[in-house]
Amino acid sequence: MNILPTEFSSLSRFVEKWAKPTENLRTEQRISSSKEEFMEFYENTLPLLDGILEYLSRYPLGTLSGSDLCLYHLALSFAEMAPHAELYKGSADVPFSFEASRFVTIHGDEIDS
């Protein structure tokens, strides 16, 4: 379900782009994002991070469904992209690094739930 729990509905516009169920899909999204996309997602989500963590801390892995699962996928994406906003000035590439698309993620197609 692509709907967030009500208290996080202000982040709904990020769901389609960022709330992806596998690391590979999130990586694909991340390495093709623009500075504006990183910063918009980052700046709007950061103020809600405490609340998101508090919410997700009620759920052991494997027990999420519906809007809770959607929030989890959005939060994973946020956690994985944060360095691009905080450290790499909005660059989709890690500066001065190996080509990210050449890294094979062994667990990359497993669905996070």
Task: Tell me the torsion sign for CA atoms 72, 111, 76, 90.
Answer: negative
- 7 or 86: CB nearest other proteins: 86
Site membership for other proteins, residue 100 (CB under 8 A): yes
Name which of residues 1 to 40 contact other proteins (CB under 8 A). Answer: none
3-state secondary structure of 61: coil
Task: Tell me the torsion sign for CA atoms 58, 105, 89, 39.
Answer: negative
Residue numbers at the binding site for other proteins (CB under 8 A): 46, 49-50, 52-61, 64, 68, 72, 75-76, 78-80, 82-83, 86-88, 94-98, 100, 102-107, 112
